[in-house]
Structure 1
Amino acid sequence: MRMISSLIATLFCAGSFAAALPDEPHLYVEGTAKMQVQPDRATIRVAISEKSKQLVEAKNKVDTVVANAIKLAKRFDIKKDDIHAEQLNIHRQTRYNRNTNEEEFEGFRITRSLTLTLGKIDSYPELLQELVNAGITEFNNTEFSVSNHNELADKLKKEAIKDAKSAASELANEFDVDLDKLYSVSFAPMNVPSVPYVRQAARATLMDTESGSYKEAYNTGAITISAQVFAVYLIK
Protein backbone atom coordinates (compact mmCIF):
# COMPACT_ATOMS: atom_id res chain seq x y z
CA MET A 1 0.00 0.00 0.00
CA ARG A 2 2.84 2.43 0.87
CA MET A 3 4.52 1.74 -2.48
CA ILE A 4 1.26 2.41 -4.35
CA SER A 5 0.67 5.64 -2.43
CA SER A 6 4.20 6.83 -3.18
CA LEU A 7 3.75 6.03 -6.87
CA ILE A 8 0.46 7.91 -7.00
CA ALA A 9 2.00 10.93 -5.26
CA THR A 10 4.85 10.96 -7.78
CA LEU A 11 2.41 10.81 -10.70
CA PHE A 12 0.33 13.65 -9.33
CA CYS A 13 3.48 15.72 -8.94
CA ALA A 14 4.49 15.03 -12.53
CA GLY A 15 1.01 15.87 -13.81
CA SER A 16 0.93 19.20 -11.97
CA PHE A 17 3.83 20.54 -14.04
CA ALA A 18 2.35 19.44 -17.37
CA ALA A 19 0.04 22.25 -18.40
CA ALA A 20 -0.07 21.36 -22.09
CA LEU A 21 0.82 18.69 -24.59
CA PRO A 22 4.39 18.70 -25.88
CA ASP A 23 5.43 20.13 -29.25
CA GLU A 24 7.28 16.90 -30.07
CA PRO A 25 5.49 13.86 -31.56
CA HIS A 26 3.57 12.13 -28.81
CA LEU A 27 0.75 9.78 -27.87
CA TYR A 28 -2.04 10.74 -25.46
CA VAL A 29 -3.69 7.69 -23.85
CA GLU A 30 -6.19 6.88 -21.15
CA GLY A 31 -5.95 3.89 -18.84
CA THR A 32 -9.04 2.61 -17.05
CA ALA A 33 -9.89 -0.02 -14.45
CA LYS A 34 -13.08 -0.85 -12.61
CA MET A 35 -14.66 -3.49 -10.41
CA GLN A 36 -18.06 -4.26 -8.97
CA VAL A 37 -18.44 -4.95 -5.26
CA GLN A 38 -21.33 -5.71 -2.97
CA PRO A 39 -21.81 -2.96 -0.36
CA ASP A 40 -21.09 -3.81 3.26
CA ARG A 41 -22.36 -0.63 4.95
CA ALA A 42 -25.19 1.85 4.60
CA THR A 43 -25.36 5.55 5.50
CA ILE A 44 -29.00 6.27 6.31
CA ARG A 45 -30.34 9.85 6.43
CA VAL A 46 -33.67 10.25 8.18
CA ALA A 47 -35.62 13.00 9.94
CA ILE A 48 -38.53 13.65 12.24
CA SER A 49 -40.94 16.44 11.38
CA GLU A 50 -43.74 17.81 13.55
CA LYS A 51 -46.21 20.66 12.95
CA SER A 52 -48.06 22.32 15.79
CA LYS A 53 -49.10 25.69 17.16
CA GLN A 54 -47.64 24.60 20.49
CA LEU A 55 -43.91 25.09 20.00
CA VAL A 56 -42.68 23.56 23.26
CA GLU A 57 -44.91 20.50 22.91
CA ALA A 58 -43.78 19.86 19.32
CA LYS A 59 -40.10 20.36 20.20
CA ASN A 60 -40.32 17.87 23.06
CA LYS A 61 -41.95 15.28 20.81
CA VAL A 62 -39.26 15.69 18.13
CA ASP A 63 -36.44 15.47 20.69
CA THR A 64 -37.98 12.33 22.20
CA VAL A 65 -38.21 10.58 18.82
CA VAL A 66 -34.58 11.44 18.00
CA ALA A 67 -33.41 10.23 21.42
CA ASN A 68 -35.25 6.93 20.91
CA ALA A 69 -33.77 6.57 17.41
CA ILE A 70 -30.27 7.06 18.81
CA LYS A 71 -30.88 4.39 21.46
CA LEU A 72 -32.17 2.14 18.70
CA ALA A 73 -29.05 2.73 16.61
CA LYS A 74 -26.85 1.64 19.50
CA ARG A 75 -28.84 -1.59 19.73
CA PHE A 76 -27.82 -2.25 16.13
CA ASP A 77 -24.15 -1.82 17.11
CA ILE A 78 -23.82 1.54 15.37
CA LYS A 79 -20.84 3.33 16.91
CA LYS A 80 -21.18 6.72 18.57
CA ASP A 81 -18.99 8.34 15.90
CA ASP A 82 -21.37 7.00 13.23
CA ILE A 83 -24.41 8.72 14.74
CA HIS A 84 -24.91 12.37 13.77
CA ALA A 85 -27.94 14.26 15.09
CA GLU A 86 -28.46 17.69 13.55
CA GLN A 87 -29.65 20.77 15.42
CA LEU A 88 -33.34 21.57 15.74
CA ASN A 89 -34.89 23.57 12.88
CA ILE A 90 -37.96 25.68 13.60
CA HIS A 91 -39.99 27.41 10.88
CA ARG A 92 -42.98 29.63 11.53
CA GLN A 93 -45.63 28.89 8.92
CA THR A 94 -48.40 31.22 7.73
CA ARG A 95 -51.16 31.10 5.15
CA TYR A 96 -52.47 34.04 3.13
CA ASN A 97 -56.19 34.69 3.68
CA ARG A 98 -57.70 36.21 0.52
CA ASN A 99 -60.80 37.32 2.38
CA THR A 100 -58.96 39.41 4.94
CA ASN A 101 -55.83 40.05 2.84
CA GLU A 102 -53.73 39.04 5.81
CA GLU A 103 -51.23 36.33 6.69
CA GLU A 104 -52.66 33.90 9.21
CA PHE A 105 -50.51 31.90 11.60
CA GLU A 106 -50.78 28.15 10.91
CA GLY A 107 -48.24 26.80 13.34
CA PHE A 108 -44.60 25.85 13.76
CA ARG A 109 -42.83 23.20 11.73
CA ILE A 110 -40.07 21.55 13.77
CA THR A 111 -37.58 19.15 12.20
CA ARG A 112 -34.42 17.31 13.19
CA SER A 113 -32.25 15.19 10.92
CA LEU A 114 -30.31 12.09 11.88
CA THR A 115 -27.56 10.31 9.96
CA LEU A 116 -26.61 6.72 10.84
CA THR A 117 -23.87 4.57 9.32
CA LEU A 118 -24.78 0.90 9.65
CA GLY A 119 -21.90 -1.57 9.52
CA LYS A 120 -24.00 -4.74 9.65
CA ILE A 121 -25.72 -4.45 6.29
CA ASP A 122 -27.89 -7.54 6.82
CA SER A 123 -29.71 -5.58 9.53
CA TYR A 124 -30.70 -2.77 7.13
CA PRO A 125 -34.36 -3.82 6.52
CA GLU A 126 -34.93 -4.44 10.22
CA LEU A 127 -33.39 -1.09 11.18
CA LEU A 128 -35.66 0.75 8.74
CA GLN A 129 -38.74 -0.85 10.25
CA GLU A 130 -37.57 -0.08 13.78
CA LEU A 131 -36.98 3.56 12.87
CA VAL A 132 -40.54 3.79 11.54
CA ASN A 133 -41.82 2.23 14.75
CA ALA A 134 -39.79 4.77 16.76
CA GLY A 135 -41.60 7.66 15.05
CA ILE A 136 -39.22 8.68 12.26
CA THR A 137 -41.36 10.34 9.56
CA GLU A 138 -38.90 11.11 6.75
CA PHE A 139 -36.38 8.87 4.98
CA ASN A 140 -34.27 11.15 2.83
CA ASN A 141 -31.79 8.79 1.20
CA THR A 142 -29.47 5.87 1.85
CA GLU A 143 -25.95 5.65 0.48
CA PHE A 144 -24.45 2.17 0.16
CA SER A 145 -20.68 1.81 0.23
CA VAL A 146 -17.79 -0.51 1.06
CA SER A 147 -15.62 -0.13 4.14
CA ASN A 148 -12.37 -0.81 2.26
CA HIS A 149 -13.04 1.70 -0.53
CA ASN A 150 -9.62 3.39 -0.25
CA GLU A 151 -7.81 0.08 -0.49
CA LEU A 152 -9.79 -0.91 -3.59
CA ALA A 153 -9.31 2.54 -5.15
CA ASP A 154 -5.52 2.29 -4.74
CA LYS A 155 -5.59 -1.13 -6.37
CA LEU A 156 -7.63 0.20 -9.29
CA LYS A 157 -5.29 3.14 -9.82
CA LYS A 158 -2.41 0.71 -10.16
CA GLU A 159 -4.43 -1.34 -12.67
CA ALA A 160 -5.31 1.84 -14.60
CA ILE A 161 -1.60 2.68 -14.87
CA LYS A 162 -0.94 -0.77 -16.33
CA ASP A 163 -3.79 -0.25 -18.78
CA ALA A 164 -2.37 3.12 -19.86
CA LYS A 165 1.02 1.51 -20.51
CA SER A 166 -0.63 -1.21 -22.58
CA ALA A 167 -2.66 1.38 -24.49
CA ALA A 168 0.48 3.34 -25.32
CA SER A 169 2.30 0.22 -26.49
CA GLU A 170 -0.71 -0.91 -28.53
CA LEU A 171 -1.11 2.45 -30.24
CA ALA A 172 2.62 2.82 -30.94
CA ASN A 173 2.70 -0.66 -32.47
CA GLU A 174 -0.27 0.12 -34.74
CA PHE A 175 1.50 3.21 -36.11
CA ASP A 176 4.95 1.54 -36.32
CA VAL A 177 6.58 4.02 -33.96
CA ASP A 178 8.65 3.52 -30.82
CA LEU A 179 7.80 4.88 -27.41
CA ASP A 180 10.39 7.23 -25.96
CA LYS A 181 9.71 8.47 -22.43
CA LEU A 182 6.74 9.39 -20.30
CA TYR A 183 6.10 13.13 -20.65
CA SER A 184 3.25 13.65 -18.19
CA VAL A 185 0.52 11.82 -16.33
CA SER A 186 -2.61 12.77 -14.43
CA PHE A 187 -5.57 11.11 -12.73
CA ALA A 188 -7.87 13.76 -14.17
CA PRO A 189 -8.47 14.59 -17.86
CA MET A 190 -5.95 17.11 -19.16
CA ASN A 191 -7.23 20.50 -20.22
CA VAL A 192 -6.28 20.02 -23.85
CA PRO A 193 -8.30 19.80 -27.09
CA SER A 194 -7.00 16.31 -27.88
CA VAL A 195 -9.02 13.23 -26.98
CA PRO A 196 -7.00 10.41 -25.41
CA TYR A 197 -6.78 6.97 -26.97
CA VAL A 198 -8.74 4.41 -24.92
CA ARG A 199 -8.48 0.67 -25.25
CA GLN A 200 -11.62 -1.47 -25.42
CA ALA A 201 -13.48 -0.96 -22.15
CA ALA A 202 -12.39 -3.43 -19.51
CA ARG A 203 -15.03 -5.61 -17.94
CA ALA A 204 -15.80 -4.89 -14.32
CA THR A 205 -14.65 -7.57 -11.93
CA LEU A 206 -17.34 -8.67 -9.49
CA MET A 207 -16.17 -8.98 -5.91
CA ASP A 208 -18.48 -10.33 -3.23
CA THR A 209 -18.33 -9.41 0.43
CA GLU A 210 -19.59 -11.39 3.38
CA SER A 211 -22.17 -8.73 4.20
CA GLY A 212 -23.66 -8.47 0.73
CA SER A 213 -26.90 -10.41 1.20
CA TYR A 214 -30.21 -8.57 1.61
CA LYS A 215 -33.81 -9.42 1.87
CA GLU A 216 -35.19 -9.33 -1.66
CA ALA A 217 -37.12 -6.10 -1.19
CA TYR A 218 -33.94 -4.22 -0.29
CA ASN A 219 -31.49 -5.67 -2.79
CA THR A 220 -29.32 -2.80 -4.08
CA GLY A 221 -27.06 -4.64 -6.50
CA ALA A 222 -23.35 -4.09 -6.91
CA ILE A 223 -21.42 -0.84 -6.64
CA THR A 224 -18.99 0.03 -9.42
CA ILE A 225 -15.66 1.55 -8.38
CA SER A 226 -13.44 2.89 -11.14
CA ALA A 227 -10.14 4.65 -11.73
CA GLN A 228 -8.68 6.55 -14.70
CA VAL A 229 -5.23 7.75 -15.59
CA PHE A 230 -4.23 10.00 -18.51
CA ALA A 231 -0.70 9.76 -19.84
CA VAL A 232 1.35 11.44 -22.55
CA TYR A 233 4.27 9.54 -24.09
CA LEU A 234 6.86 10.99 -26.42
CA ILE A 235 7.54 8.88 -29.51
CA LYS A 236 10.53 8.51 -31.78
Structure 2
Amino acid sequence: MKNLTIFDLDHTLLPIDSDYEWGEFLVRVGAVDEAAFRQRNDEFFAQYQAGVLDPVEYLEFALGTLASFPRERLDALRAQYMREVIEPAILPQAVKLVRDHIDAGDLVAIITATNHYITAPIARAFGVEHHIAAMPEVDAQGRLTGKLAGTPTSGAGKIHHMHAWLERMGRPFESFERSHFYSDSHNDLPLLSVVSHPIATNPSSALASHAQAQGWPTIRLFND
Protein backbone atom coordinates (compact mmCIF):
# COMPACT_ATOMS: atom_id res chain seq x y z
CA MET A 1 0.00 0.00 0.00
CA LYS A 2 1.68 3.15 -1.26
CA ASN A 3 -0.98 5.63 -0.20
CA LEU A 4 -2.87 6.46 2.99
CA THR A 5 -6.43 7.78 2.98
CA ILE A 6 -8.21 9.01 6.07
CA PHE A 7 -11.81 10.13 6.33
CA ASP A 8 -13.54 12.18 8.96
CA LEU A 9 -17.08 10.89 9.51
CA ASP A 10 -19.72 13.43 10.51
CA HIS A 11 -20.67 15.88 7.72
CA THR A 12 -17.86 14.35 5.65
CA LEU A 13 -19.03 10.84 4.80
CA LEU A 14 -22.39 11.34 6.51
CA PRO A 15 -24.65 14.37 5.90
CA ILE A 16 -25.44 14.36 9.62
CA ASP A 17 -23.59 14.47 12.93
CA SER A 18 -23.86 10.90 14.25
CA ASP A 19 -23.18 11.96 17.84
CA TYR A 20 -25.82 14.70 17.90
CA GLU A 21 -28.34 12.52 16.09
CA TRP A 22 -27.78 9.70 18.59
CA GLY A 23 -28.88 12.11 21.30
CA GLU A 24 -31.90 13.18 19.30
CA PHE A 25 -32.75 9.52 18.72
CA LEU A 26 -32.63 8.79 22.46
CA VAL A 27 -34.98 11.70 23.07
CA ARG A 28 -37.37 10.58 20.31
CA VAL A 29 -37.69 7.02 21.61
CA GLY A 30 -38.12 8.23 25.19
CA ALA A 31 -34.90 6.68 26.48
CA VAL A 32 -33.73 9.91 28.19
CA ASP A 33 -35.37 12.93 29.77
CA GLU A 34 -36.13 15.20 26.82
CA ALA A 35 -35.76 18.66 28.36
CA ALA A 36 -32.58 18.03 30.33
CA PHE A 37 -30.81 15.95 27.70
CA ARG A 38 -31.69 18.14 24.71
CA GLN A 39 -30.52 21.27 26.50
CA ARG A 40 -27.10 19.77 27.21
CA ASN A 41 -26.85 18.14 23.77
CA ASP A 42 -27.67 21.43 22.01
CA GLU A 43 -25.20 23.35 24.18
CA PHE A 44 -22.37 20.99 23.33
CA PHE A 45 -23.24 20.97 19.62
CA ALA A 46 -23.16 24.78 19.51
CA GLN A 47 -19.77 24.75 21.24
CA TYR A 48 -18.48 22.25 18.66
CA GLN A 49 -19.68 24.41 15.77
CA ALA A 50 -18.00 27.44 17.35
CA GLY A 51 -14.74 25.54 17.85
CA VAL A 52 -14.76 25.95 21.64
CA LEU A 53 -15.89 22.50 22.75
CA ASP A 54 -14.05 20.85 25.65
CA PRO A 55 -13.78 17.34 24.17
CA VAL A 56 -13.30 15.53 27.47
CA GLU A 57 -16.29 17.26 29.08
CA TYR A 58 -18.48 16.41 26.12
CA LEU A 59 -17.28 12.83 25.78
CA GLU A 60 -17.89 12.09 29.43
CA PHE A 61 -21.41 13.48 29.05
CA ALA A 62 -21.96 11.22 26.03
CA LEU A 63 -20.26 8.20 27.57
CA GLY A 64 -22.10 8.71 30.84
CA THR A 65 -25.33 8.48 28.89
CA LEU A 66 -24.21 5.21 27.32
CA ALA A 67 -23.23 3.80 30.70
CA SER A 68 -26.67 4.56 32.15
CA PHE A 69 -28.26 1.73 30.12
CA PRO A 70 -27.92 -2.02 30.70
CA ARG A 71 -25.75 -3.36 27.88
CA GLU A 72 -28.50 -5.44 26.29
CA ARG A 73 -30.77 -2.40 26.15
CA LEU A 74 -27.95 -0.21 24.84
CA ASP A 75 -27.11 -2.65 22.06
CA ALA A 76 -30.76 -2.82 21.03
CA LEU A 77 -30.98 0.97 20.91
CA ARG A 78 -27.84 1.17 18.78
CA ALA A 79 -29.19 -1.38 16.32
CA GLN A 80 -32.44 0.58 16.03
CA TYR A 81 -30.48 3.83 15.58
CA MET A 82 -28.45 2.27 12.77
CA ARG A 83 -31.61 1.15 10.97
CA GLU A 84 -33.63 4.31 11.42
CA VAL A 85 -31.02 7.09 11.33
CA ILE A 86 -27.67 5.99 9.94
CA GLU A 87 -28.51 3.60 7.11
CA PRO A 88 -30.76 6.16 5.33
CA ALA A 89 -27.92 8.70 5.65
CA ILE A 90 -25.28 6.51 3.97
CA LEU A 91 -25.39 7.87 0.44
CA PRO A 92 -24.08 6.10 -2.69
CA GLN A 93 -21.63 8.87 -3.58
CA ALA A 94 -19.95 8.64 -0.18
CA VAL A 95 -19.75 4.86 -0.35
CA LYS A 96 -18.23 5.13 -3.85
CA LEU A 97 -15.56 7.58 -2.70
CA VAL A 98 -14.47 5.21 0.07
CA ARG A 99 -14.62 2.20 -2.22
CA ASP A 100 -12.54 3.94 -4.90
CA HIS A 101 -9.69 4.42 -2.41
CA ILE A 102 -9.96 0.85 -1.12
CA ASP A 103 -9.99 -0.53 -4.67
CA ALA A 104 -6.93 1.59 -5.48
CA GLY A 105 -5.05 -0.27 -2.77
CA ASP A 106 -4.87 2.58 -0.25
CA LEU A 107 -4.68 1.97 3.47
CA VAL A 108 -8.01 3.48 4.51
CA ALA A 109 -9.23 4.57 7.93
CA ILE A 110 -12.01 6.60 9.48
CA ILE A 111 -10.89 8.89 12.30
CA THR A 112 -13.69 10.55 14.24
CA ALA A 113 -14.08 12.54 17.43
CA THR A 114 -17.29 10.65 18.13
CA ASN A 115 -17.09 7.70 20.49
CA HIS A 116 -16.16 4.22 19.30
CA TYR A 117 -19.32 2.50 20.55
CA ILE A 118 -21.59 4.59 18.33
CA THR A 119 -19.33 4.78 15.27
CA ALA A 120 -17.93 1.23 15.02
CA PRO A 121 -20.99 -0.13 13.15
CA ILE A 122 -20.99 2.95 10.90
CA ALA A 123 -17.40 2.29 9.83
CA ARG A 124 -18.35 -1.32 9.09
CA ALA A 125 -21.31 -0.12 7.01
CA PHE A 126 -18.87 1.86 4.85
CA GLY A 127 -16.67 -1.22 4.49
CA VAL A 128 -13.78 0.38 6.37
CA GLU A 129 -11.73 -1.98 8.51
CA HIS A 130 -9.64 0.60 10.37
CA HIS A 131 -11.62 2.87 12.65
CA ILE A 132 -10.18 5.29 15.22
CA ALA A 133 -12.56 6.94 17.66
CA ALA A 134 -12.82 8.08 21.27
CA MET A 135 -12.63 4.95 23.39
CA PRO A 136 -15.03 4.37 26.29
CA GLU A 137 -13.48 3.07 29.48
CA VAL A 138 -14.72 -0.36 30.58
CA ASP A 139 -14.42 -2.06 33.94
CA ALA A 140 -13.15 -5.56 34.70
CA GLN A 141 -16.55 -6.99 33.76
CA GLY A 142 -16.54 -5.20 30.41
CA ARG A 143 -19.17 -2.65 31.45
CA LEU A 144 -18.97 0.95 30.31
CA THR A 145 -17.93 3.25 33.16
CA GLY A 146 -18.98 6.53 31.55
CA LYS A 147 -15.38 7.74 31.41
CA LEU A 148 -13.01 8.29 28.49
CA ALA A 149 -10.11 5.87 28.07
CA GLY A 150 -7.01 7.71 26.85
CA THR A 151 -7.11 11.00 24.98
CA PRO A 152 -9.78 12.50 22.70
CA THR A 153 -9.62 11.84 18.96
CA SER A 154 -10.32 15.45 18.02
CA GLY A 155 -8.26 18.35 16.73
CA ALA A 156 -4.55 17.69 17.08
CA GLY A 157 -5.50 14.47 18.88
CA LYS A 158 -6.26 12.97 15.48
CA ILE A 159 -2.58 13.31 14.56
CA HIS A 160 -1.51 11.57 17.76
CA HIS A 161 -3.93 8.69 17.27
CA MET A 162 -3.10 8.36 13.57
CA HIS A 163 0.61 8.00 14.31
CA ALA A 164 -0.04 5.50 17.12
CA TRP A 165 -2.25 3.39 14.83
CA LEU A 166 0.28 3.46 11.98
CA GLU A 167 3.09 2.46 14.32
CA ARG A 168 1.03 -0.53 15.45
CA MET A 169 0.53 -1.38 11.78
CA GLY A 170 4.28 -1.17 11.19
CA ARG A 171 3.66 1.57 8.60
CA PRO A 172 4.95 4.93 9.82
CA PHE A 173 3.34 7.98 8.24
CA GLU A 174 6.52 8.89 6.35
CA SER A 175 6.46 5.55 4.50
CA PHE A 176 3.47 6.55 2.33
CA GLU A 177 3.98 8.25 -1.01
CA ARG A 178 0.70 10.16 -0.69
CA SER A 179 -1.59 10.82 2.24
CA HIS A 180 -5.16 12.06 1.89
CA PHE A 181 -7.50 13.42 4.53
CA TYR A 182 -11.12 14.27 3.79
CA SER A 183 -12.86 16.53 6.31
CA ASP A 184 -15.60 19.13 6.54
CA SER A 185 -14.41 20.95 9.64
CA HIS A 186 -11.95 23.68 10.57
CA ASN A 187 -11.49 21.70 13.79
CA ASP A 188 -9.51 19.23 11.65
CA LEU A 189 -7.00 21.79 10.37
CA PRO A 190 -4.13 20.16 12.34
CA LEU A 191 -4.40 16.87 10.43
CA LEU A 192 -5.39 18.55 7.16
CA SER A 193 -2.15 20.52 7.40
CA VAL A 194 -0.03 17.39 7.92
CA VAL A 195 -1.16 15.21 5.00
CA SER A 196 0.16 15.67 1.48
CA HIS A 197 -3.34 15.87 -0.04
CA PRO A 198 -5.96 17.60 2.13
CA ILE A 199 -9.46 17.65 0.66
CA ALA A 200 -12.10 19.97 2.09
CA THR A 201 -15.26 17.88 1.88
CA ASN A 202 -18.68 19.52 2.27
CA PRO A 203 -16.67 22.20 4.11
CA SER A 204 -17.91 24.58 6.75
CA SER A 205 -17.57 28.24 5.79
CA ALA A 206 -14.43 28.54 7.91
CA LEU A 207 -12.77 25.54 6.28
CA ALA A 208 -13.91 26.59 2.81
CA SER A 209 -12.20 29.97 3.24
CA HIS A 210 -9.02 28.34 4.53
CA ALA A 211 -8.99 25.76 1.75
CA GLN A 212 -9.38 28.44 -0.89
CA ALA A 213 -6.51 30.46 0.60
CA GLN A 214 -4.29 27.36 0.69
CA GLY A 215 -5.26 26.12 -2.76
CA TRP A 216 -6.71 22.90 -1.37
CA PRO A 217 -9.30 21.06 -3.47
CA THR A 218 -12.92 21.20 -2.34
CA ILE A 219 -15.59 18.58 -3.05
CA ARG A 220 -19.23 18.24 -2.14
CA LEU A 221 -20.76 14.83 -1.69
CA PHE A 222 -24.08 16.29 -0.58
CA ASN A 223 -25.76 19.51 0.48
CA ASP A 224 -26.20 19.42 4.26
Q: State the TM bucket, normalised to the shorter chain.
A: under 0.3
Larger Rg computed on CA atoms = 1
Q: TM-score, normalised by structure 1?
A: 0.23
TM-score under structure 2 length normalisation: 0.24
Q: Compare relative contact order (CA 8 Å, sep 6+) and give the higher one, 1 or 2.
A: 1
More strand by share: 1
